Structure 1
Amino acid sequence: MASVLLLSLTLPLSTWHADAAFVGHSSLFPIPSPRRLRLSRHTAAPLDDAVAAPDISASVAADAAVPTAASFPLIQEYSHVDEDLSAAEDRPPAAERYDWLRAWYPVLLSESADRGHAHAVRVLGSSFCVWHDGNAWRCYVDRCPHRLAPLSEGIVDKYQHTITCAYHGWAFGGPDGKCLDIPQAKNTNVKFATKNKRACAQAVPCQVAQGHVWIWLDISPEGLKASATTPLPIVDELELPSFQSTWNDGRHFMYMRDMPYGAEALLENLLDPAHVPVTHHNSITLQGTKVSRESAGPLDMALASNVSMTDGFVSAVLGGWSRALDSYTVTFRPPCRLEYRTQKGERTNYMICYCVPQEPGRSRLFMRAASSIPQKYDVIPHFVRHMWETYFLNQDMVFPHQQERNILNQMAAVGAASGQSPQEGVPYDRVCFLPSASDVPTRSLRRWLHKFSPPGIIPTYANTYPRLQASSALGSAERDRSLLQDVYESHTKHCPICMGAMRNIRRGKLASLALAFLTSTATFTSALLRRTGVGSIALMSLAALASASSYVGLRWVEGRFIMIDFHHQDNHRDVVEKGAPAKAKKK
């Protein structure tokens, strides 16, 4: 087992990657460097049986009518780099601006989340307890009504279909959070006490679709009515039979990770194709050619739709990496969905990302890949794909974390100097210089935020905080790289696939260590007593060496589940050395 795991890590790898989506291939995503094994794409996870497929014929027909790259209208080319587009538009009145609370957000992966424990999740600065009662997923506000202790620390009983507060034993269940037991109440008072509405947990609307658990934040009477008529922000085309056929082959790709920066920074990073050759230098290949810093160049992008409060916007990649495709679009749908869609002949590929705002400086990323045509898959463990995705994300990690603080601080300074109202905010264009067409998606996102979500940020508190306070709410940037590059707390402990792999690797380490000790002892004893020939001693020595090497390799793999440190200076050393003078190279 240990040697097999070690071998799988020494072979070349590949995986889906959101950033890599920008480079295009015969399908949506490229493969890593030739030193890593090519790995076919995952398909989507099966739908929950309790969720009926909606009638989506109209919306699917609209999606299917995506024009080719050559026919995309250049609604906005952003040719005049000094034009303040965000400030040029009149904002709608407050009543017509985007309501972040009246929206559905994914919080867990429904197929892989542990159903034996309650999960504490945060969205827009509020805490929720999500749990499975044995029949369905439930969501309550993460406060026991008794003494406001966190329900997410409670005990889930799938047989009684309840969650019990671990502080005083109050039990709750059902979609309405009904109180079912109060141990401290006398028998004659239990029935009366549990029927009191104040004894009930605050239930939150909860649904399951396309492999995610979704919750609705506004639990006011008007908000609950709105939840019944507001559709989930899923990709309707994935409900078609051509995509459904790829759900059930067991080779889907779903990924979740907590990020040490806010959803605005995460959205901006994933919408940006231009950083791929530089940030991910030498990490991927495109049709046999390594994508590197030297391949960075002009990338023509343009808006293919208007910027809308409810529908977001669609941007098209018109040249560069997309030339081999019939069409290539990057779409933002509020509140938090990004989708990359490519089409080549009869094949349509998707990478869907949900960037969920948790609190200031924190967000949760969900990623899912799907294809309309079933793929042939190499036998590569899922945890290897997760490790590769984590490695890619760690290459970006330090940039958005510090960038969002720099942007907010600069906006606060510019706003204060110009007398700008903190509640209105400062347009993104006034603090960042965006001269190229590859910046179109970034500018469109910031334009949408500035127009429909003043002061241009996602409200990660119950009430929108002023722009001048936003930068201080984030605190100073984290200087400990190990915390930014952490993998265990941000992904591994939430992922049953990776936790299972790490347990097996630890068992393999013990087995390798024991085998190395036994074989080395046998080798030494045989050589000392001269009871075996030279050939046998050589074989035992090789076995001991192989066992020790397996232990070292498995220990390295185990470390990848805990922390992956990445330094761009080291990754770009080949470019630096290539430009060094001849004398310096000789030294």
Structure 2
Amino acid sequence: FFLRILNMKLLNMQRTARVVVVLLLSLKCVHGLSLAQRWSETWWPVGFTETLNNKSPQAITLLGAPVVVWYDKSEWRASLDRCPHRFARLSEGRITSHGAIECPYHGWSFSGTTGECLKIPQDNTQEQKACARITTLPTRERNGMVFVWTAPLYDIKDSEPNEEALKRIAMDELFATDVTVVGTDYSRDLPMDATMLAENVLDPSHLPFTHHRTISNRKNAQPITLSKLESNVDKGFTFRKGSDKSKASRVQFIAPSQVLSVTDRGNESYQDYNLVYAVPTIPGSCRLHVRILFEVDRIPNFIQRSLIKAVFGTPPWFTHLANHKILEDDNVFLHYANRDLTLSFNSTDENKVENDIDSHRAALPGVLPKRRLAPSWQSRLFQPTAADSAVVAYRRWIDDATNGFGPVYSPWLPLDCREAPAPTHGLTTKLILERGHAHTDKCAACTQARSRFQKLSTSCLILALFSLALNTTFRTIIPSFSAKPLMEFASGLLAPFSFALYFILERRILPLFERGRYPPPRNSPPYV
């Protein structure tokens, strides 16, 4: 009996030792790319040129680091959002007439090209300026998006921006053809890990149920076949959608955090693309950048072609409000699934393994979260159908490429964000559906539209009060004259009309820029 117990203990110790060895080796290098390289030495999108604010600096969070993005009159620039003087946020400053960024605290200004200090109002000697420098990020504008090379956030000095990788990440192949491609772009902060977002986009079978009454219908649900075409731990994998090999419909994961879904309409018709960038911000949160594109020239039906052109020709703020509704179909339950998948597991062996590699995390140039994203997901999740194939492949990629830990964040990740990849306590539904900070404040088109609607609302209220006062004056004070009945009628009609427009703007239009509605359309009556 005692020999059996001893044998079991030895086996457990051997198993744990093997796991530790594998983990330690993988921290150094996994399949040709180091664990940190997958996330640090690559290009990440920070926004779309159409909706980034080119008049003032804009703050974003990227891989745990505070980053400021601005337009220097000719090109987009980005740097660490910290002034080297006293760590004031440069995003609270302004862009000078020469395109430099000026700190709001003491007026120090810096070049977005080299990072050198151009001016110290308190001591403008050359010696002092040479010692002050900001951490700039190589920036490129490509296909209507702004990308940054994030190696400097990890203090990696000798990493040259990979221009060939940028072509792949920016999807040059979609824009290099003679076919006219039209679509819409959209960004938003989401209360879930970047891996949870990518997993959701890789799952086409959720559309009829989750997005019932927005972009799909429950009646469209049917078995889905996904067949793996290729797989590479450094580059990602591709699955064919459906059994028709003549169609090019596919879903493709592009490592480390990009998903392309292609739908081929067949019969030499058009294709449409759903391109998603799941950008890690802090553990448990991410920023979504999505492009929805149509090969409009290949659409055979004239009415359908004209309708798509008309829809995507609307102002960006209008399409963003529509995109909010689609995204909020998923947000609530994905937030809680993310939290539960991360935190509901408790294993002595697993925790021991993770504690054993804590001392080796210092070898990384970045920060590795202290818990895996989905420990023992194979036994905890039941995913038996072919429709789950891409999701299963993605979870295996996370295990193979990152040992289940997910993104390696920059050393600038705040200390209070390092313990767990998801909030310990779930957010309320109201906070999950918040739009103001998550999107509107960071979108130049929506910020401008909200400001104009606010001005229009104020004007309607003033006009309503003025019309009411004018109508009262005509009726009680001003003596009779030939145009008095007409003036009374006009002012009496204008007052309620202006009040009605004011209430529509305040109760119906402006709230759409600040928060989403609940419950989602799929759960609203009538229940069909």
TM-score normalized with structure 2 length? 0.77
Structure 2 residue aligned with 1:299: 224
- In the alignment, the residues of structure 1 paired with residue 242 and residue 183 of structure 2 have an alpha-carbon distance, to the nearest angstrom, of 29
Question: Matched residue of 1:257: which SS?
Answer: strand
Percentage of pairs with the same residue: 24
Amino acid at match of 2:252: T
The question of whether the paired residues in 2 share the 8 Å contact of 1:488 and 1:562 is answered with yes
Identify if the C-alpha distance between structure 1 residues 263 and 112 changes in structure 2 by more than 3 Å, giving closer, same or farther. Answer: same
- The answer as to 2:201 corresponding to 1:262 is no
Structure 2 residue aligned with 1:127: 66
The structural deviation recorded for 1:526 is 7.5
- The answer as to 2:206 corresponding to 1:275 is yes
- The answer as to 2:326 corresponding to 1:392 is yes
Amino acid at match of 2:82: R
The question of whether the paired residues in 2 share the 8 Å contact of 1:408 and 1:471 is answered with no
- The answer as to 2:40 corresponding to 1:107 is no
Identify if the C-alpha distance between structure 1 residues 140 and 179 changes in structure 2 by more than 3 Å, giving closer, same or farther. Answer: same
- The answer as to 2:407 corresponding to 1:478 is no
Match of 1:353 among 271, 276, 281: 276
- The answer as to 2:29 corresponding to 1:95 is yes
Amino acid at match of 2:247: D
- In the alignment, the residues of structure 1 paired with residue 351 and residue 510 of structure 2 have an alpha-carbon distance, to the nearest angstrom, of 53
Structure 1 residue aligned with 2:386: 437
- The answer as to 2:311 corresponding to 1:406 is no
Structure 1 residues 10-59: Cα deviation after superposition (integer angstroms, max 9, x where no partner) = xxxxxxxxxxxxxxxxxxxxxxxxxxxxxxxxxxxxxxxxxxxxxxxxxx
Structure 2 residue aligned with 1:191: 126
- In the alignment, the residues of structure 2 paired with residue 368 and residue 295 of structure 1 have an alpha-carbon distance, to the nearest angstrom, of 24
Structure 2 residue aligned with 1:180: 118
Identify if the C-alpha distance between structure 1 residues 547 and 436 changes in structure 2 by more than 3 Å, giving closer, same or farther. Answer: same
Amino acid at match of 1:548: F
The structural deviation recorded for 1:574 is 2.9
Match of 1:314 among 238, 255, 266: 238
- In the alignment, the residues of structure 2 paired with residue 433 and residue 446 of structure 1 have an alpha-carbon distance, to the nearest angstrom, of 13
Question: Matched residue of 1:574: which SS?
Answer: coil
Amino acid at match of 2:386: A
Structure 2 residue aligned with 1:52: none
Structure 1 residue aligned with 2:150: 217
Structure 2 residue aligned with 1:334: 255
Identify if the C-alpha distance between structure 1 residues 524 and 106 changes in structure 2 by more than 3 Å, giving closer, same or farther. Answer: same
- In the alignment, the residues of structure 2 paired with residue 536 and residue 152 of structure 1 have an alpha-carbon distance, to the nearest angstrom, of 52
The structural deviation recorded for 1:414 is 4.4
Structure 1 residue aligned with 2:75: 136
Structure 1 residues 252-299: Cα deviation after superposition (integer angstroms, max 9, x where no partner) = 5221111122101111122222222222222235xxxxx13x543422
The question of whether the paired residues in 2 share the 8 Å contact of 1:405 and 1:471 is answered with no
Amino acid at match of 1:177: G
The question of whether the paired residues in 2 share the 8 Å contact of 1:478 and 1:484 is answered with no
Higher helix share: 2
- In the alignment, the residues of structure 1 paired with residue 348 and residue 161 of structure 2 have an alpha-carbon distance, to the nearest angstrom, of 36
Unaligned runs of 5+ in 1: 1-86, 286-290, 579-587
> How many pairs were matched up?
463
- The answer as to 2:517 corresponding to 1:565 is yes
Identify if the C-alpha distance between structure 1 residues 418 and 476 changes in structure 2 by more than 3 Å, giving closer, same or farther. Answer: closer
- The answer as to 2:445 corresponding to 1:497 is yes
- In the alignment, the residues of structure 1 paired with residue 185 and residue 101 of structure 2 have an alpha-carbon distance, to the nearest angstrom, of 27
Unaligned runs of 5+ in 2: 1-18, 298-304, 358-370
TM-score normalized with structure 1 length? 0.70
The structural deviation recorded for 1:105 is 0.4
Question: Matched residue of 2:151: which SS?
Answer: coil
Question: Matched residue of 1:359: which SS?
Answer: coil
- The answer as to 2:140 corresponding to 1:207 is yes
- In the alignment, the residues of structure 1 paired with residue 329 and residue 287 of structure 2 have an alpha-carbon distance, to the nearest angstrom, of 17
Structure 2 residue aligned with 1:236: 172
Greater relative contact order, per chain length (Cα 8 Å cut-off, separation 6+): 1
Supply the RMSD in Å over aligned alpha carbons: 3.5
The structural deviation recorded for 1:421 is 4.7
Match of 2:88 among 149, 154, 163: 149
The question of whether the paired residues in 2 share the 8 Å contact of 1:427 and 1:456 is answered with no
- In the alignment, the residues of structure 2 paired with residue 559 and residue 545 of structure 1 have an alpha-carbon distance, to the nearest angstrom, of 22
The question of whether the paired residues in 1 share the 8 Å contact of 2:64 and 2:413 is answered with no
Match of 1:507 among 455, 459, 465: 455
- In the alignment, the residues of structure 2 paired with residue 325 and residue 573 of structure 1 have an alpha-carbon distance, to the nearest angstrom, of 41
The question of whether the paired residues in 1 share the 8 Å contact of 2:48 and 2:146 is answered with yes
The question of whether the paired residues in 2 share the 8 Å contact of 1:254 and 1:369 is answered with yes
The question of whether the paired residues in 2 share the 8 Å contact of 1:156 and 1:163 is answered with yes
Structure 1 residue aligned with 2:302: none
The question of whether the paired residues in 2 share the 8 Å contact of 1:255 and 1:386 is answered with yes
Tell me which moved more, 520-529 or 233-242. 520-529
The question of whether the paired residues in 2 share the 8 Å contact of 1:449 and 1:458 is answered with no
- In the alignment, the residues of structure 1 paired with residue 250 and residue 120 of structure 2 have an alpha-carbon distance, to the nearest angstrom, of 55
